[in-house]
Amino acid sequence: MKATPTNTSDMRMVLIFSVVVLLMPIWLQPFGAAYPDLMQKFAIFGLFAIGFNILFGQTGYLSFGHAAFIGVGSYATVWVFKGLTMNIFPAILFGTLVSGAFALAIGYVCLRRTGIYFSILTLALAQMSYNLAYSVLTPITNGETGLQLSLDDARVLDDPIKEGGGIPPTNLFGLELQAFDGLAGFYICAAFLILGFYIAMRITRSPFGSMLRGIKTNNNRMMYTGLNTRPYALAAFVISGMYAGLAGSLMAAVDPLAGAERMQWTASGEVVLMTILGGVGTLVGPVLGATVIKYFENIFSAIDKSVLADLYSFLPDGLADVFVTVTGLFVGKGWHLTLGLMFMLVVIFLPGGIMEGVERIRRRFSKQEESN
């Protein structure tokens, strides 16, 4: 993206992105990842990472507390399910707005500092929110057990449950998210992902986006020209907080439960990893990073010794055992190890993330074309 992006090339990118996302149920099949729950996670965490990248990639403010907004979004959403209606539209709207307001408060405090101090402040506030959700606010969050729906919730806007009926499923104006074996839920998440991607692109290309990159490049110089940069940074913080809130809301929409652990600092660290792995400041990178990490977490962690034994069954017995033992360290419980190694390799050899790798390959090919 070093070449000046034009409207046409941007639209082409959105189009390709949409097609790739929408066709996930087909092209993910060979990877064993084409089941609704995981694809929903790809879309939701992709959205989360895109939003995080608006703050980190554009302004350079590294927030270590973004998971707090996911949690706030989830709790707000589940409360709408409990109190008002199982239609996800008002719930998601409310969840996103509440986390936006929460981000405004946190951002107002944290953006007084920059660099490492900003990171520490966000980390501290997010960890405080986690502990509040975990114990102090138990009446609102149901503590460690997590906030769940129950049959006797009010749901004032919905029709009363029929005698002997269960908890109604979440729906979007009547379309159940469980419909078509969960694919309805995936396509709703995918639609939000594409919309979020498009908005992030428009922000990046706008004068407001240039202002954000100005903050990243040299905040002092911006200040010397007489500009107050803080409102811009705060706006970016709130926008990315709302993206996280939307992700949290969607999480609650496809699986109506909100647990405190999704606010923990490890979850905040995860989105930083996703963004760096994919490529900071790029548009597609964060989504790629999110997909890779969630794939590892769900697929690699489920591979066990017997699967490996099947895989190496063509080798002679002794050799197969050695292979199973050695690779066994990197799958199953050891999936973090594989991810860590990959992360190191990417950071050392491709500091710009996976997107830099893609870019290098593309440049090599185009050079060859020129020489031809």
Partner 1 sequence: MTKKSSDLSRRSLLKGTAAATAATAVAPSIFVPNATAAGAFRNDPGNSSTVTLGFNVPQTGAYADEGADELRAFKLAVKHLNGEGDGGMMQTMQPMNLKGNGILGKKVEFVTGDTQTKSDAARASAKRMIEKDGVIMFSGGSSSGVAIAVQSLAQEMGTVFMAGLTHSNDTTGKDRRRYGFRHFFNAHMSGASLAPVLEAEYGRDRQVYHLTADYTWGWSQQESIAKFTKSQAGWNTVADVRTPVGAGDFSQYITPILNSGADVLVLNHYGKDMVNSLTQAIQFGLRDKQVNGKDFQIVVPLFSRLMAQGAGENIKGILGSTAWNWKLSDAGSQAFTKAFGQEYGFPPSQAAHTCYCQTLLYADAVERAGTFNPEQVIRALEDHEFDGMGNGKTLYRGSDHQAFKDVLVVRGNQNPSSQFDLLEVQDIVPRDKVTYSEDTYPGDLGPYKV
Binding mask 94-133 for partner 1 (x = CB under 8 A): ----------------------------------------
Choosing from 7, 220, 225, 372, the residue that interacts with partner 1 (CB under 8 A) is 7
Closest CB 240 distance from partner 1, rounded Å: 22
Using CB under 8 A as the binding rule, whether residue 183 contacts partner 1 is answered as: yes
- CA dihedral (94, 95, 99, 102) positive or negative: positive
Stretch that binds partner 1, among 111-119, 178-186, 231-239, 271-279 (CB under 8 A): 178-186
Between residue 238 and residue 297, which ones bind partner 1 under the rule CB under 8 A?
A: 255, 257, 259, 261-262
Task: List the structure tokens of 324.
Answer: 């199973």
Binding mask 142-171 for partner 1 (x = CB under 8 A): -xxxx-xxxxx-----------xxxx-x--
Cα separation, 51 vs 72, whole angstroms: 15
Using CB under 8 A as the binding rule, whether residue 210 contacts partner 1 is answered as: no
Cα separation, 348 vs 335, whole angstroms: 20
Closest CB 176 distance from partner 1, rounded Å: 11
Closest CB 308 distance from partner 1, rounded Å: 13
Using CB under 8 A as the binding rule, whether residue 182 contacts partner 1 is answered as: yes
Scored b (16 or more CB within 10 A) or e, 56-89 reads bbbbbbbbbbbbbbbbbbbbbbbbbbbebbbbbe
Choosing from 181, 218, 322, 329, the residue that interacts with partner 1 (CB under 8 A) is 181
Long-range contacts of the stretch 255-259 (C-beta < 8 A, 24+): 255/37, 256/78, 256/81, 256/148, 256/149, 256/170, 257/78, 257/146, 257/147, 257/148, 257/149, 258/71, 258/74, 258/75, 258/77, 258/78, 258/141, 258/146, 258/147, 259/144, 259/145, 259/146, 259/147
Using CB under 8 A as the binding rule, whether residue 19 contacts partner 1 is answered as: yes
Site size for partner 1, by CB under 8 A? 54
Stretch that binds partner 1, among 13-21, 100-108, 121-129, 235-243 (CB under 8 A): 13-21
Closest CB 293 distance from partner 1, rounded Å: 13
Closest CB 263 distance from partner 1, rounded Å: 11
Using CB under 8 A as the binding rule, whether residue 12 contacts partner 1 is answered as: yes
Using CB under 8 A as the binding rule, whether residue 203 contacts partner 1 is answered as: no
Closer CB to partner 1, 163 or 370, in the complex = 163
Between residue 297 and residue 316, which ones bind partner 1 under the rule CB under 8 A?
A: 298, 301-302, 304
Closer CB to partner 1, 151 or 315, in the complex = 151
* Amino acid of residue 372: N
* Amino acid of residue 99: S
What is the pairing mode between strands 171-172 and 147-148? unpaired
Cα separation, 325 vs 314, whole angstroms: 16
Write down the residue that tokens 């991810």 correspond to.
339
Nearest CA among 213, 159, 188, 198 for reference residue 39 = 188
Nearest CA among 49, 115, 85, 32 for reference residue 282 = 49
User: CB atoms < 10 A from the CB of 172, how many?
Assistant: 18
Using CB under 8 A as the binding rule, whether residue 334 contacts partner 1 is answered as: no
Closest CB 355 distance from partner 1, rounded Å: 22
Between residue 34 and residue 53, which ones bind partner 1 under the rule CB under 8 A?
A: 34-38, 41
Find the helix or strand (DSSP H, E) in which 125 lies. helix 115-131
Using CB under 8 A as the binding rule, whether residue 8 contacts partner 1 is answered as: yes
Closer CB to partner 1, 114 or 148, in the complex = 148
Using CB under 8 A as the binding rule, whether residue 347 contacts partner 1 is answered as: no
DSSP string for residues in 197-224: HHHHHHHHHSHHHHHHHHHHHHHHHHHH
Cα separation, 244 vs 237, whole angstroms: 11
Binding site for partner 1 (CB under 8 A): 6-8, 11-12, 14-15, 18-19, 22-23, 25-26, 29, 32, 34-38, 41, 134-135, 138, 143-146, 148-152, 164-167, 169, 178, 180-183, 187, 255, 257, 259, 261-262, 298, 301-302, 304, 333
